[in-house]
Structure 1
Amino acid sequence: MTMKVASVSANFTRDLEQNYALIADLVTEARAAGVSFLAFPEAAIGGYLSSLGNHGDTVKTTKRSMPPAIRLDGPEIARVQELVGDMVVTIGFCELADDGETRYNAAVCLDGENIYGSYRKVHQPLGENMSYSAGDTYRAFDTPVGRVGMQICYDKAFPEAARMLALDGAEIVVSMSAWPAARTATAENLQDDRWTYRFNQFDIARALDNQVFWMASNQSGTFGSLRYVGNAKVVDPGGNILATTLLGTGLAIAEIDIEETFRTMRGGMFHLRDRRPDVYGPVAETAGEHVEGWKELARA
């Protein structure tokens, strides 16, 4: 059975009303195109951090505005549910934990009636741990459009993260980002920037590694000191880019057939089936001589 899916490239700020209006516009556009599943970027509710680096951006010390902390069962998520109706969407936000203090860079998959799954970002780049606590779980979940797994931004640089979701049966992995251009020696044309290149290569590799559909959404434009690279896309299990926004804003829309594509692309070489876990032990090691050596290099 075929369906249309779409990944978003757009600019979201601290202004929640601007965010809701943009969400509504994009949902309307997607619905008109027949889209069943829509992936918004990281931090689409309330915007991302205004900069990256070890600047002490904690709730108590920063002089910059922090993303609004939102509860999963709060009115902000409920407002998004009202806007999306029967469409299944994934969307990023800053989650406030039950203790009222701990904050996570998080995402949720929902429609107007249900919350199908949520995720807290595990891998944290460039001082992000000053602003957020880290999650510790990768889990796929069932939705009306298939079995879905979620990641956020830097997670895509870690093959283990996508593999965890694929092994849990994810048919579609959604990678939501606020991925900026390089901070130094930025290319004049952002499409040629080295961080844009990495963003795109990770998307292709993770789809092909795990033979899953990969939906990458991203912020676009600028916020604070960050200049985002867009390039929202849909990638098939063979690593082929089916649709992309490049640097522009809007929707990357593709028609996919999960069952037929898996039958074709996994019929011969099936990477998950052909794994050799018996020889992968060091991949998950957290101690040992060679690991400590790398830690020493990182501290140097």
Structure 2
Amino acid sequence: MTMDIFLSLLRQTGLEGGRTRLDVSKSSQFLTALLLIAPCAKNDVEIEVVGDREMPYIDITLAVMEAFGVQVVSDGYKYFRIEGGQRYQPRIYNVEPDASNASYFFAAAALTGGRVTVQHLHLDSMQGDVQFVRILEQMGCQVAVSDIGITVTGPHQLKGVDVDMRAISDTALTLAAIAPFADSKVTIRNIEHTRWQETDRIHAMVTELRRLGVPVIEHQDGLEVSPSSITPAAIDTYEDHRMAMAFSLVGLKARGIRINDPDCVSKTFPNYFEVLQGLYS
């Protein structure tokens, strides 16, 4: 079936509604998608959630739905009911900066002892990934919050950390990329679910760090990275935008780093490398 025919069928038959059970143990994105379309169903939609996951992105989804006039009844993260036949209402809505993508620039400051400010981003953001700056703080960075945004200033030497990144796992690759430059081991825990994202991110991180000559121990739910000098290499990105953006940071401290398939960043940040280059100006 072609996509055009599939979309035509969707337009013709619509969404009936009803009750379903959804496993979110590998990703909450499926739940987000179902929640977003549920108000347009002909009848009520009830979703019983199974599987254990931190779900900060569901909080964002529900907040945005409410902002556009849609009501959702929920019992924690285990049950959701959305009345069918609702309609999203137009309004002016300010979109926050992308906290996940901001992590690369905060990490650039951390890695080089420089200073980076991301404007219009604040610690009370709905996006959990903004808390990545708290990990950088543990590593010796200075974090300043103002009306302008968040500023990270890097230290002379990064410190090692042992962190649970389950709630902010999109930034785990960022931390892994700068980990070899810390003064002691960096341990990343509780991110097993990232094995089922754009790629098996744990194994990809381990493989590419080892390609750089970095001692790494792989665990089912994370990895341990030891301090190391860097061997120049070309980094495979596995068609994963976050692999490309995270490992590009290594090139700020080590010569000879090449990123294979850099265009994969187009998924979320098409001009990432141009913006990164702009830090030099």
How does the TM-score come out when normalised to structure 2? 0.29
Structure 1 or 2: more helix by fraction: 2
**Higher Cα radius of gyration:** 2
